[in-house]
């Protein structure tokens, strides 16, 4: 316990226990479902996790600043449909350009959210609830309820989900999943080592104090929404590649999965604490649950209900468990602190650092 307290922060305990919970869930479903431990199950889960993860990373940035982005599902739907239509029409479009188009469209939709929240001073939950419906509405109207079909798409895109970068012990790691992992790594390090990441945390943990030191709060909140939109755009592209068939319903409900992943992953819904890595673990948990419940032939409404329950449990346990852990750790710190400090008196004349 002492070793644990010295080397692991309470926030990390949460992430470790989530890892444990994922293993428990896998073992549980393994005993419930015949042929669960196959590469097919693994591939299904992994490609589902990829989409949720990418969206959850963006959501994490927004939630860190004490906001929320509910429009991500609609942004995913819009970009998947738009880029799918584009590729259906221009088969020889450069793949990189197609990805960039998806990201740019997502960023633009995110920018609208950001503008309204940061400068319109409208609470983010209202703004993104509105754009959730508006973006979807525009999609339905522009598409005329037509569907993008797999056979209209260029071959490289259709083959993308089966492209594996590497395989470990017979389990293939598809390129799309590795893309999600790369995104997680980039943003995990970015939030930890870039000034802008530190400032996201600062805004979320104490907006007043952030204003007091002159942080450009509006610009930073705007940036968080643009990044969330851009990542949702990327997720839209992954969705297009994975499913091929894109209806106007595509991406619907993804906001629930993304928020669940973030919250289950230990990001404080009131901002200021949590990590991108935690959000990824949350996404793995959610993806595992979704796919396994699907295999158990539980209706998607029940799956959503279970996600909802998970969000409630995560937030409630966040309040209770983390408090306990912090108290436990706090006592440990106290023991260390009560040892007489080396410089008990003010070091008069000490040089300024």
Partner 1 sequence: MTEPALARTKGAEQFGSSSAAASGQSGDRILETRSISKHFDATQALQDISFSLYPGEVHALLGENGAGKSTLIKIITGVLQPDGGEILLAGTPVVIRSAAEAQRLGIAAIYQEPLLFPDLSVAENIFVSHQGRGQVVGWRQMSQDAEAILAQLGVAIDVRSPARGLTLAAQQSVEIAKAISLNVRVLIMDEPTASLSAHEVAQLFGLVRDLRGQGVSILFVSHRIEEVFEIADKVTVFRDGRLISTRLRSETSPQRSISDMVGREMGLLKPRPRAAIGELLLSVRGLGRESVFEEVTFDLHRGEVLGFGGLIGAGRTDIGLALFGIEPATSGTIALDGKEITVRSPREGMDLGIAYVSEDRRQLGLSLPMSITANITLPMLHKYLDRFGLIRRGLETETAEAYRKRLSIRTSSVDLAVAKLSGGNQQKVMLSKWLNTKPSVLILDEPTRGIDVGAKAEVHAIIAELAATGIGIILISSDLPEVLAMSDRVLVMREGRQMAIFSREEATQERVMTAAMGQVSAPIGEVAA
Q: Which residues bind partner 1 (CB under 8 A)?
A: 192-195, 198-199, 201-202, 205-206, 208-214, 268, 272-273, 326, 329-330, 333, 336-337, 341-350, 352-353
Instruction: Report the residue number, 45 or 202, with the smaller CB distance to partner 1.
Output: 202
- Gap between the Cα atoms of 314 and 307, Å rounded: 10
Q: Which two tokens stand for residue 111?
A: 């920018």
Q: How far apart are CA 128 and CA 126, in angstroms?
A: 6
Smallest gap from residue 53 Cβ to partner 1 (A): 24
What contacts 108, CB < 8 A, 6 or more positions away? 229
> In angstroms, rounded to a whole number, what is the distance separating the alpha carbons of residues 120 and 113?
10
Return the number of the residue (45 or 220) whose C-beta is nearest partner 1. Answer: 220
Comparing CB distances to partner 1, the nearer of 297 and 338 is: 338
CB of 328 to partner 1, least distance (A): 11
What is the rounded distance in angstroms from the CA atom of residue 287 to the CA atom of residue 293? 10
Between 22 and 215, CB nearer to partner 1 = 215
Cα angle 232, 234, 237; round to 5: 115
* 8 Å CB contact between 260 and 310: yes
Distance CA 175, CA 181 (A): 10
CB of 96 to partner 1, least distance (A): 24
Cβ distance to partner 1 smaller for residue 25 or 321: 321
Question: Which phi-psi region, left, alpha or beta, contains residue 153 (left: φ > 0; alpha: ψ -120 to 50)?
Answer: beta
Q: Which is nearer to partner 1, 76 or 203 (CB)?
A: 203
Smallest distance, partner 1 to C-beta of residue 228, A: 21
Distance CA 317, CA 323 (A): 9
Closest contact distance (angstroms) between CB of 7 and partner 1 is: 11
CB of 275 to partner 1, least distance (A): 12
101: Cα separation from own chain's centroid: 21
- Would you say 6 or 162 has its CB closer to partner 1? 6
Torsion of CA 162, 237, 282, 202, to 10 degrees: 140
3 state SS of 171: strand
Could you tell me the smallest distance in angstroms from the CB atom of residue 245 to partner 1? 42
């Amino acid at each position: 316990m002492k070793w644990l307290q010295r080397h692991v922060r309470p926030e990390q305990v949460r992430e470790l226990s989530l890892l444990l919970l994922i293993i428990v869930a896998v073992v549980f479903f393994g005993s419930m479902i015949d042929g669960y431990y196959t590469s097919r199950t693994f591939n299904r889960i992994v490609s589902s996790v990829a989409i949720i993860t990418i969206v959850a990373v963006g959501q994490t940035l927004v939630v860190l600043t004490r906001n929320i982005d509910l429009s991500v599902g609609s942004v995913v739907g819009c970009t998947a449909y738009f880029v799918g239509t584009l590729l259906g029409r221009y088969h020889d479009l450069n793949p990189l350009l197609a990805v960039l188009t998806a990201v740019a469209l997502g960023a633009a939709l995110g920018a609208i959210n950001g503008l309204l929240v940061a400068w319109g001073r409208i609470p983010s939950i209202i703004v993104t609830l509105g754009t959730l419906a508006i973006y979807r509405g525009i999609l339905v109207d522009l598409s005329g309820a037509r569907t993008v079909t797999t056979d209209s798409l260029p071959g490289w895109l259709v083959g993308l989900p089966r492209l594996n970068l590497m395989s470990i012990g017979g389990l293939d790691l598809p390129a799309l999943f590795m893309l999600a992992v790369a995104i997680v790594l980039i943003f995990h390090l970015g939030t930890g080592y870039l000034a802008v990441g530190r400032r996201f945390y600062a805004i979320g943990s104490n907006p007043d104090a952030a204003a007091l030191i002159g942080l450009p709060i509006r610009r930073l909140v705007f940036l968080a929404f643009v990044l969330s939109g851009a990542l949702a755009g990327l997720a839209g592209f992954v969705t297009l590649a994975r499913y091929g068939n894109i209806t106007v319903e595509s991406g619907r409900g993804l906001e629930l999965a993304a928020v669940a992943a973030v919250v289950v992953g230990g990001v404080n819904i009131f901002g200021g604490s949590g990590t991108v890595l935690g959000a990824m673990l949350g996404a793995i948990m959610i993806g595992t649950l979704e796919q396994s419940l699907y295999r158990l032939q539980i209706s998607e409404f029940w799956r959503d209900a279970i996600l909802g329950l998970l969000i409630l449990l995560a937030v409630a346990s966040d309040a209770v468990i983390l408090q306990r852990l912090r108290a436990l750790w706090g006592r440990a710190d106290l023991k260390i602190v009560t040892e007489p400090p080396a410089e008990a008196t003010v070091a008069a004349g000490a040089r300024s650092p």
